[in-house]
Amino acid sequence: MFHIGPYQIHSPVVLAPMAGITDQPFRRLCKQFGAGMVTAEMLTSDTKLWHSRKSQQRIIDKNEAEPRAVQIAGAEPAMLAQAAQACVEHGAQIVDINMGCPAKKVCNKAAGSALLRDEALVTDILQQVVAAVDVPVTLKIRTGWSPEERNGLNVARIAADSGIQALTVHGRSRACRFKGEAEYDTIAEIVQSIHIPVIANGDITSPHKAKQVLDHTQAAAVMVGRGAQGRPWIFQEINHYLQEQKTAPLPSLEIIQTTISQHLEALHQYYGDYLGLRIARKHMGWYLQTLAADTVNTHMADFDWSGLRQTFNKLEDCQQQQHYVEQLFDDLIKTIEEQAA
């Protein structure tokens, strides 16, 4: 348990904002499974671009669970401050600034992790955004621009001195992108050097890894990103392991089926039939990867998981997608029963 401003976060496991993934249906699902906090997809700081359908669907909804957190990205201090104010007007209770994204299309605009090269600009951005709003402002960074230019500690101190109320650190430099293993020594050093909550991010894909990182860094929490794709119940698994010191049983096939069906229905309702159908394909692909990994030691490993995904991706009707899920789990449960007989 930790605090971001006046908000008490009851679980030390939070969901990372991921563009194109952590939309409203997925955030609600992760929250249901015990995520202490969820953050909306990254928004550009240029509010003139917020009128597109994509941006409108990324703007926070005042009916979402508290604390309502949003993430903004940009390189102009005044523009970021204005965007933060607009987010608050739409209902945001926490504004997160992205200085961690390694994507070329973000860094080419000198935003995201590209900002880590200019500590003076970092200072200006943080001070202006903090001054512009009366809600907590948080920051996400990487350990530095490259392994040779690892200035995450300097940026962390700037953040704490500028009024940032929580800091997330991804255990890779910008140059590393998502390659290689995350390192946590820099995060541990940052935790010892500043007085605000630090959230450790990078390769948190299991309950054991979450505890290992929390123990090593002494961070207030861990942030799960890719580890939640196709496995939103990972928050429940990590919370159980941290509290009970033992691994939770895997969710039953019935629970997983219900989760997938409800997720698909939420996507169809939120985006409409055309777009919801297509976004559902991406999530179903991740669910199938998870099922394949979890059944690797059973006869279900003989399932043609790649073929199942290809078949699902060819479906052109929302009801067909739901029927496909029902049939898939009927087959899985029948296989288990045959094995037990």
| Whether 138 and 266 share a structural domain | no
| Whether 178 and 271 share a structural domain | no
Write down the number of H helices and E strands in the chain: 12, 10
With 0-12 / 13-18 / 19 or more C-beta atoms within 10 angstroms meaning exposed / middle / buried, residue 216 is middle
Please give the pLDDT value at position 295: 67
% the chain with pLDDT above 70: 91
Which of 244, 271, 301 delimits the end of a domain?
Answer: 244
* CATH code (residue 24): 3.20.20.70
pLDDT band at residue 114 under the 50/70/90 scheme: confident
| Whether 278 and 239 share a structural domain | no
Please give the pLDDT value at position 92: 96
| Whether 183 and 323 share a structural domain | no
- Cα–Cα dist 291/286, whole Å: 9
| Whether 240 and 261 share a structural domain | no
**What would the pLDDT profile of 306-332 be if each residue is shown by its tens digit?**
888 999 999 999 999 999 999 999 988
Mean pLDDT of 267-277: 95
Respond yes or no: is residue 101 known to be catalytic: yes
| Whether 6 and 95 share a structural domain | yes
Catalytic residue among 101, 107, 176, 318: 101
- Cα–Cα dist 284/290, whole Å: 10
The top-scoring range by mean pLDDT among 1-5, 47-51, 100-104, 178-182 is 1-5
CA 46 to chain centroid: 22
Which of 196, 219, 244 delimits the end of a domain?
Answer: 244
Return the axis-axis angle of helices 119-132 and 77-89, rounded to nearest 10°.
30
| Whether 205 and 263 share a structural domain | no
| Whether 196 and 277 share a structural domain | no
Please give the pLDDT value at position 338: 73
| Whether 179 and 313 share a structural domain | no
Mean pLDDT of 240-244: 96
Q: Strand 137-142's sheet: what is its strand order?
A: 13-15, 221-224, 198-201, 167-170, 137-142, 94-99, 69-73, 39-44
Measuring CA to CA, which residue among 68, 4, 21, 19 is closest to residue 232? 21
Measuring CA to CA, which residue among 144, 136, 127, 152 is closest to residue 77? 127
Domain total in the chain: 2
% the chain with pLDDT above 90: 69
| Whether 9 and 125 share a structural domain | yes
Verify cis geometry, omega within 30 degrees of 0, for the bond prior to 6.
Answer: no
Which of 204, 222, 244 delimits the end of a domain?
Answer: 244
| Whether 79 and 169 share a structural domain | yes
Residue 151 reports pLDDT greater than 90: no
Residue identified by tokens 């904002």 is 17
Q: Indicate the range of 169-173, 234-238, 258-262 predicted with least confidence.
A: 169-173
| Whether 316 and 225 share a structural domain | no
Host domain of residue 138: 2-244
- State the greatest distance between any 2 C-alpha atoms of the chain, in Å, as a whole number: 68
